Amino acid sequence: MKKKIIIFGIMLSALMISSCVKDLDVTPNDPTRILDLGADPSYIKMALGKIYASFIISGQGANGGDDITASDGNFFTTMRALWNLQEITTDEAICAWGDVGIADLNTQTWSPSNPFLTALYQRLALSITYANDFIIKAQTIGGENSERYVAEARFLRALAYYWAIDLFGQFPFTTEADGVGKFFPEIGTRTEIFNYIESELKAIENSLGEPKFSYPQADQAAAWMLLARLYLNAEVYTGTPRWADCKTYCDKVISSNKYSLATNYRQNFSADNDGRHNPEMIFAWEQDGVNVQGYVGTTFIIESSSDATYIRAEDFHGLTSNTNWNGNRARVQFLDILVDTIATYGNVRIPASDPTFSQADDKRTFLKMKKSQQIPSPSASGDYGIGVYKFTARNADGTRAANYNTAYASTDFPIFRLADAYLMRAEALYRQGGAANIDAAVADINKIRERAYGNTSGNITAASLDLDFIIDERAREFYYEAQRRTDLVRFGKFTGGDYLWQWKGGAFAGASTSDHLDLFPIPGDELSANPNYNGQNNPGY
């Protein structure tokens, strides 16, 4: 990155990243000054851009380095660490690399010393601190659009807190009222922070821009989606289900009539998937090959899922520099969810004649057979398992992106898209029960499946709908989008023995694991550093 912004208490560097949020790009007159925002309110938009960028990149590159010191800044960015915790801990992915912490996630044998836990914990806390600092300044100096900018910062802070309670439960809790400085923050419980997120999102709803006002900035629909997802998991977080509330906010998104399902499912994961070209995208972390140059986000997903033999990045994704890392692929149990191989290929479970499963009726299938569907050990070569090429650096029609780079994808990482509003609403309706609700849930699911099948041949009826179908449908629609662990926890399938996958619990056939693993531990360094934890980690650790 050629420009940077760094927050030191109340001071900001006037240098600025070429923001992930193009609408927030501002070039300072004097890129050598260090100044207090109170002296020049024109830098407010740049500071807001920094909060957005903190979720997807490591920092501002060679001129400023990483926001958090690490042996590999790209390795420990928010979205890359989050993806690892949400995906390779499940049936959807397993990583072949020998880096410290990877094997623990592959087999659900992690400890408080896992570096990905520490990285994500610190990254989320940093984004919260950036937001607190920004809110203090923006509220003080005011200016045009300052109310909306503050609302966006509060949304981003709420999103960070959402991931914090989803993954860690308890978490250091600060707001702008605490200021920014050196102190030991109080620890908020999962329920306390849940209630805070809920109240914050409702408080800012009318201050955010209307749906689709200026992608990729957070708008009202993004807040509604976050509320819906919060309520979808409310029983896990607080012990009290909130299905009706989840439906209410899904209704708001759908009835806004600002979004529609992309005709081509793949467009959601292509270089032209942004909300300016894709009617389905509600909120995403924007990436392009010019302004976001790092092995992060979708670039990481593409390259780590590519290899020199079976899924070459050059052939499948259009990237030609530093390619084919041969790390991530799916486990065979996920293949069984996405493709009914027996129905499609008869008794030949390994379709040698159709390695990309092109005969599958469900056109969400972007899988490829590798050397073997079986993975002989958790650290076995990425040549084993089920290859995944869902994300691509090309446009949906196969053409090159306008901001193409040989090494970095121009594909945004989706956080909320319309399909999730339909499937969250379907689940909420089904769990509430009653014939009318179940019929409505079937209609929502069939809307998604008609896009997947291209016709009504994949439609279901109320008689065939149950919770197992709903969790499997979410896997088919959202695989590799960093949602799988959260979904499995909500359905009681992440730990325990009800659902086993290869190398779960460290066993080839999968083994039951303790339910305390539904929450990650507070990282050991953080536990010892903050006396407000009183040495108490999450139960079981």
Mean pLDDT by 10 residues, the chain (541 residues): 29 29 34 46 85 91 69 87 98 96 97 96 96 92 89 98 98 93 92 98 98 96 98 98 98 98 97 96 94 91 97 96 97 94 73 87 96 95 97 96 94 98 98 98 98 97 98 98 98 98 98 98 95 95 96
Are 44 and 149 in contact by the 8 Å Cβ rule? The answer is yes
User: Would you give the DSSP letter of residue 59?
Assistant: B
Q: Which of 540, 541, 415, 519 lies closest to 171 in space, CA to CA?
A: 519
Cα separation of 378 and 93, whole Å? 11
Q: Which helix (H) or strand (E) holds 83?
A: helix 78-87
Identify the DSSP state of 43.
G
The pLDDT assigned to 217 comes to 96
Q: Which two tokens stand for residue 63?
A: 């001129």
Helix 243-255, helix 418-432: angle, nearest 10: 140
Q: What are phi and psi of 14, to 5 degrees?
A: -80, -10
CA triple 208-211-216, angle to 5 deg:
80
CA gap 313, 496 in Å, rounded: 36
pLDDT at 13: 29
Is the pTM higher than 0.75? The answer reads yes
Tokens at 113, concatenated: 């010393």
Q: Give me 154's structure tokens.
A: 């509060």
Contacts of 437 (CB under 8 A, 6+ apart): 429, 430
Q: Rounding to the nearest 10 degrees, give the CA dihedral for residues 427, 165, 300, 477.
A: 0
Expressed in angstroms, the distance from the first to the final Cα of the chain is 40
Q: Where are the alpha helices (DSSP H) in 142-176?
A: 146-168
pLDDT for the residue 20: 30
pLDDT at 149: 96
Compute φ and ψ for 376, nearest 5 degrees.
-70, -20
pLDDT at 92: 98
As a three-state string, the secondary structure of 450-496 is HHHHCCCCCCCCHHHCCHHHHHHHHHHHHCCCCCHHHHHHHCCCCCE
For residue 523, the model assigns a pLDDT of: 96
Nearest-angstrom CA–CA distance, 17 and 14: 10
In the chain, how long is the greatest CA-to-CA distance? 72
**Residue 36, beta-bridge partner list:** 11
b or e along 506-527 (b: 16 or more beta carbons within 10 Å of the residue's beta carbon)? eeeebeebeeebbbbbbbbebb
Nearest to 161 by CA among 125, 113, 116: 125
